Structure 1
Amino acid sequence: MSTINEETKIADGDTGTAALNGSILPDDVALASGTIPAGPLVTDGADDGELEAELSRMEGDAAILQKEGLISASEAQDKRDQVERTRKLFRDLPPAERAAIVRRRREIGRELLDRQLSGAAVVSAAVRLNHTRMKPLFEQWWPYLNRMSINMQRFGRSTFTAQDQGAVSDWFEKQIGELESYVNEQLEVAGGFRERTESEMVARGDVVFKPSVTKPSLEIEVEAYSRFSMRLLSLIIKFDRVMDHFDFLVWNGIRDQSDVDEETSRFLRKFHPVGVRGYTTHLRLMTTVRGR
């Protein structure tokens, strides 16, 4: 159990195509400087460690698909070649350009939040995120995951084979289920630990500080397109509440800030694969949308 206890504007999705389950990572071709390299720049915008972990998963996926007879040996090799090209291209990027890619994706994500999708049945949700580390997570991934979820319903059969679409949906369901279990456990344990600690401090006659965030990092209303995107939104908001408990522990000297940062980074790492693959799936679906 892991918890604390005792840029350049572009059109929606107009960033190229990317496949899920080990094919291609997103090709963010225009950097914030406005320059476009001679060949497609393929990157997921993460740092080296996170990207390498994702690339390793993709290589493993290719091997599994080949072993199960779902793709041929040549197709598996193509996927491995794509992974290696991605690894080299991203490794050669200067740090400033890597950061620019992430900033630009966040800007486009914010633009998506302001666009209403015609004919879509939506559920409005108020989003308040107190902590600054949750804001970039939300902006960089949720708008694309939200749009991806409805486009999968509308264009999934036109984009993927029935077998591939099922594999994509199963993968996301498994990942979000594991994230829900993790975040619920974090919230329950952190809340329980805070409550017990506060009671002990009161019993000893200690001064108990009860900090609160008066100016949230993000406070907006969004339109969710599916139950899937509402579940992801709930995950982000719940972990923000976990961080409220962390604030209490730090303020009262129960835990060091570095401990809290480690726990928060662990959540971000767990969410990262869902964000990357949701984003790449969004791009893949947008090729079908634009072609209709």
Structure 2
Amino acid sequence: MSTISEETNPEALSQPSATDIPVAAENPATGADAASDSAANQSATTDGADGGEIELELQQMEDAANTLQKEGMISESEAEEKREQVARTRKLFRELSPAERAAIVRRRREIGRELMARQLSGAAVVAATVRLNHTRLKPLFEQWWPYLNRMSINMQRFGRSTFGAEDQDTVTSWLEKQVAELEAYVDEQLGVAKDFREKSERKLRDQGDIVFAPTVTKPSLAIEVEAYSRFSMRLLSLLMKFDKVMDNFDFLVWNGIRDQSDVDEESARFLRKFHPIGVRGYMTHLRLMTTVRGR
């Protein structure tokens, strides 16, 4: 089974630091501070605040600082400053109540929906229909894809002036590599799930058992979006493809072949694998927006 490596963050030299995470509450479409009156602006620690993911991200940021120092890319004092920022952010996050964490994630999803409702002038787009049957994928889509979509076009427009040519290539290559590995993982999961379903169905019919064929009549999400790049379309494709994997899971659960907890575990594994792309693409988007607003 393919896996995605948890690599050092290649944007560590150019991303906002851990203490800059409050920028997540800003409205990227207008540049207005949409969270100046919200709890998100006060606590400012919740990229991926649900499911313990923020702790994973903070640890990766701390590891990135150590790696960059060892490679001579930043000084010892700069690395120590980044580690102190991570420590302060971790402390703030741990003091948040579950309700505050959930509120910040909800706010990011709300701004993501606002982004999708706005058209970007001068952008060549491809319209796409997004249908996701399963509720676990809807939050994943809303809190990451709108920002990754906008990031992909702003990287083309402002990537060099924001990061420099070399760092732009590094960031882009890292994201492309992660998406390619995730696509391979989802393709494998879909092939395995379909094959297992077909074999199980044949076995049930041979035994004379009743075979249920469940369908989702009301999808979790069904909207039209405008994608700004091939990168964005690939992300949409892999999300909808994993949704099909979960369709096969539904069949297995309905027919008593797999327990729901097994399905939940597989779904959670996909969410964890998508998370690094979401966070890094999101933080890259925020960095690019500082350039956009400065023009």
What SS does the corresponding residue of 2:118 show, helix, strand or coil? coil
Inter-CA distance 206–36: structure 2 relative to 1 (3 Å threshold): closer
Deviation at 1:181, TM superposition (A): 1.2
Q: Determine the C-alpha separation between the residues in 1 that align with 2:39 and 2:192.
A: 48
Aligned positions, number: 277
Inter-CA distance 37–124: structure 2 relative to 1 (3 Å threshold): closer
Segments of 5+ residues of structure 1 without an aligned counterpart are 4-18
Q: Percent identity?
A: 72
Mapped pair 1:158 → 2:161: yes
Deviation at 1:95, TM superposition (A): 0.9
What SS does the corresponding residue of 1:212 show, helix, strand or coil? coil
Match of 2:251 among 248, 255, 275: 248
Mapped pair 1:24 → 2:17: yes
Conserved? CA contact 2:151–2:281, under 8 Å: yes
Deviation at 1:186, TM superposition (A): 0.5
Name the counterpart of 1:194. 197
Q: Determine the C-alpha separation between the residues in 2 that align with 1:289 and 1:99.
A: 29
What SS does the corresponding residue of 2:222 show, helix, strand or coil? strand
Name the counterpart of 1:104. 107
Name the counterpart of 1:177. 180
Name the counterpart of 1:9. none
Name the counterpart of 1:127. 130
What SS does the corresponding residue of 2:159 show, helix, strand or coil? helix
Moved more, 254-263 or 75-84: 75-84
Deviation at 1:76, TM superposition (A): 1.6
Inter-CA distance 31–89: structure 2 relative to 1 (3 Å threshold): farther
What SS does the corresponding residue of 1:154 show, helix, strand or coil? helix
Inter-CA distance 170–2: structure 2 relative to 1 (3 Å threshold): closer
Output the TM-score relative to the length of structure 1: 0.89
What SS does the corresponding residue of 2:129 show, helix, strand or coil? strand
Q: Determine the C-alpha separation between the residues in 2 that align with 1:114 and 1:272.
A: 24
Name the counterpart of 1:115. 118
Inter-CA distance 148–33: structure 2 relative to 1 (3 Å threshold): closer
Q: Determine the C-alpha separation between the residues in 2 that align with 1:190 and 1:37.
A: 40
Mapped pair 1:148 → 2:151: yes
Moved more, 240-249 or 43-52: 43-52
Conserved? CA contact 1:23–1:58, under 8 Å: no
Name the counterpart of 2:209. 206
Deviation at 1:37, TM superposition (A): 8.1
Q: CA RMSD of the aligned region, Å?
A: 2.2
Output the TM-score relative to the length of structure 2: 0.88
Q: Determine the C-alpha separation between the residues in 1 that align with 2:34 and 2:150.
A: 23
Conserved? CA contact 1:148–1:282, under 8 Å: yes
**Partner letter of residue 274 of structure 1?**
I
Per-residue deviation, residues 73-119 of structure 1 (Å, max 9, x unmatched)? 22222221221121111111111110000111111111111111111
Name the counterpart of 1:46. 49
Name the counterpart of 1:269. 272
What are the within-5 Å matches in structure 2 for residues 65-84 of structure 1? Answer: 65-84=68-87
Deviation at 1:166, TM superposition (A): 2.0
Mapped pair 1:89 → 2:92: yes
Name the counterpart of 1:220. 223
Deviation at 1:140, TM superposition (A): 0.6
Inter-CA distance 56–130: structure 2 relative to 1 (3 Å threshold): same
**Partner letter of residue 86 of structure 1?**
T
What SS does the corresponding residue of 1:230 show, helix, strand or coil? helix
Mapped pair 1:258 → 2:261: yes
